[in-house]
Amino acid sequence: MKRYILILIFFPFLIFSQKLELQGLRELYCIKNCNKYKSEQIWVKQNNPPKGPQEKVYPKIKRMFSIPLEKRMKLYPFNQYDSIYIANPVYLKNNNEPRNYMDEKYHNEKRLLSKIEKDKFSDILFNYYYLNSFGVITRIHEEIGYDCIQFEYPKIILLFKRNGKFEKYIAFPDNGLNRYNFSNQEWSNFDWSMEKEDMILEFFKKDILPDQNCRREVYTPLPSPNKK
């Protein structure tokens, strides 16, 4: 019990330390827009977000840093979980949000991420940055009719495993529904944006089930017999 209490006390400190560590790594491995990034970090420390972009100038997500893989793997969540799996969902009618996407009943096909995939996923999280993006985290949720059940579910689910047990998940797209079970402190490590989400969905497009555009009859897959 004492050990558990110490972990609870120490964990917020680890999250805070990661923000400082990530900022230091980004400054060390910055490859473009470095002065603008440093200026924004000063504004962040002062709790004074920078002015918005000029008229007809739209900020874009960019690969501004080149933090190497071995250093990215020492950052949360990669340093806390043994492995990461990707799953596509089972569509269950009359089961509305919020949903616990760690529950097996939502998992159709599920597989372990390779080292190359963890490299790309962590690259998107930590080496890409969206300038002037403060407060831009999720899409606005739109109510969608029941004739298209795919749109009521995420396209993919990332599952984070430790000691043989899944503990965390992120389901994409978020669609303004906060489809994850990370705490606000944990989630703040990711600099989340819609653009990052789109990049992740594009990278894992081979895992997305067919008929997501609902042009044909709704496709409801059977649960995989090879669940792990």
Q: What are the tens digits of pLDDT across the range 126-169?
A: 999 987 655 555 555 555 544 678 888 999 999 999 999 999 99
- Continuous H helices in the chain: 2-28, 34-45, 69-72, 115-127, 184-187, 194-203
Please give the pLDDT value at position 18.
Answer: 79
Please give the pLDDT value at position 39.
Answer: 84
Please give the pLDDT value at position 42.
Answer: 81
Strand pairing category for 83-89 and 107-112: antiparallel
The answer to whether residues 171 and 157 touch, using CB atoms and an 8 Å cutoff, is: yes
CA 89 to each of CA 16, 38, 54, 108, 207: distance values in angstroms, whole numbers, following the listed order: 33, 40, 41, 5, 10
Q: Name which of 110, 109, 113 is nearest 121 in CA terms.
A: 113
Please give the pLDDT value at position 223.
Answer: 60
Start-to-end CA span in the chain (Å): 31
Return the minimum-mean-pLDDT range out of 49-53, 87-91, 191-195: 49-53
What is the C-alpha separation between 47 and 12, in angstroms, rounded? 20
Confidence of residue 91 (pLDDT cuts 50, 70, 90): very high
Q: pTM to 2 decimals?
A: 0.79
CA 47 to each of CA 38, 42, 193: distance values in angstroms, whole numbers, following the listed order: 14, 9, 19
Residue owning tokens 């089972």: 90
Between residues 225 and 75, the one the model is more confident about? 75
Q: What are the structure tokens assigned to 31, written together?
A: 């490859």
Between residues 170 and 185, the one the model is more confident about? 170
Please give the pLDDT value at position 50.
Answer: 60
Confidence of residue 97 (pLDDT cuts 50, 70, 90): very high
Which of 54-63, 67-76, 191-200, 217-226 has maximum average pLDDT?
67-76
CA 198 to each of CA 69, 126, 228: distance values in angstroms, whole numbers, following the listed order: 21, 15, 27
Please give the pLDDT value at position 105.
Answer: 96
Burial 142-176 (b: 16+ CB within 10 A, else e): eeeeeeebbbbbbbbbbbbbeeeebebbbbbbbbe
Confidence of residue 58 (pLDDT cuts 50, 70, 90): low
The answer to whether residues 220 and 148 touch, using CB atoms and an 8 Å cutoff, is: no
